[in-house]
Amino acid sequence: MIEVKDLKKYYQGDSVVTKALNGVSFFIKEGEFVAIMGPSGSGKSTLMHIMCFLDRPTSGTYKFRGKSIDELSEDELARIRNKEMGFVFQTFNLLSRTTALDNIKLPLVYTGLSAKLENEMAQSAIEAVGLSHRTFHFPNQLAGGEQQRVAIARAIVNQPSVIFADEPTGNLDSKSGQQIMDILQKLNAEGHTIILVTHERYTAEMAQRIIQLKDGKIISDEVVDHRRFAKDGLIK
């Protein structure tokens, strides 16, 4: 699904060049659950932004389903992002004056679907994250973990093939964080490819594979031998 080869991303300052990514290469197969981890400044967020089509590399190759980002127009990139990709961020990015259901429907705005079908898809997504009882609540009426579950429902409403999760548990208490990881593991079991950015080893070990970055380079790429599983806020 994803091929990254000798990827570099440099930022030019007044007199200094910052090498955010400095020759990164890897593959991700469809259906994998991959964690990208590293300390602050390691390049993991820059890498995530490039993989999400939010930024372009300075050099190197990034291919999504065999097509290089350099070969795609802005319209094609937007279409792939809307159709194939779902996004979950550390900050929930919910519209404050909009109900949970209407927040979930946002990715469907430009699909041309009927209002009835949009509602059905949003209802299905909110059920998938266990929040049917919060359908018409506003974000300020929801706990942090519930807001993140709404954000996940919004990410999966279009049935994307890959879900990018950037520090999705970073603003949550440990129990809520475990519940979010449980949902992501279930989505992966259903066939979604999950790419998780985290700085926590404990969270990364809930993936199948960990790519570790330091100073813009991959220092390890390993299968998780003793994978952790999250369920109802507890490790099983």
Per-residue pLDDT of 76-121, as tens digits, reads 998 898 889 999 988 888 898 999 999 999 988 877 888 899 999 9
How does pLDDT run across 126-170, given as a tens digit for each residue?
999 999 999 999 999 999 889 989 999 999 999 899 999 998 888
The whole model's pTM is what?
0.89
Cβ-contact 129, 147 below 8 angstroms? no
Query: Would you say 144 and 138 are in contact if contact means Cβ atoms under 8 Å apart?
Result: no
Do 96 and 139 meet the contact criterion of CB atoms below 8 Å apart? yes
User: In 3D, which of 46, 25, 22 has the Cα closest to residue 197?
Assistant: 46
Pull the structure tokens for residue 68: 């290089």
Distance CA 112, CA 70 (A): 28
Does residue 236 register a pLDDT over 50? no
| Sheet of 59-64, strand order | 17-28, 2-12, 59-64, 67-68
Does 218 score more than 90 pLDDT? Answer: yes
Q: Is the dihedral of CA 27, 153, 105, 192 positive or negative?
A: positive
Token duo for residue 190: 């259903």
Q: What share of the chain is helix, strand, coil (3-state, %, to 5)?
A: 35, 30, 35
* Three-class secondary structure of residue 132 per DSSP: helix
Identify the architecture of domain 1-84+199-226 in CATH: 3-Layer(aba) Sandwich (3.40)
CA distance 100 to 194: 23
pLDDT in tens, 31-69: 999 999 998 889 998 999 999 998 999 999 999 999 999
| Nearest C-alpha neighbor of 153 from the set 217, 104, 199 | 104
Residue with tokens 């990208």: 36
pLDDT value, residue 28: 97
Compute how many other C-beta atoms are within 10 angstroms of the C-beta atom of residue 25.
13
Instruction: Please report, for the chain, the start and end positions of each structural domain, with discontinuous segments joined by +.
Output: 1-84+199-226
Mean pLDDT taken over the chain: 90
Going by pLDDT thresholds of 50, 70 and 90, the confidence category of residue 194 is very high
| pLDDT above 80 (res 178) | yes
Segment 212-234 shows an average pLDDT of 86
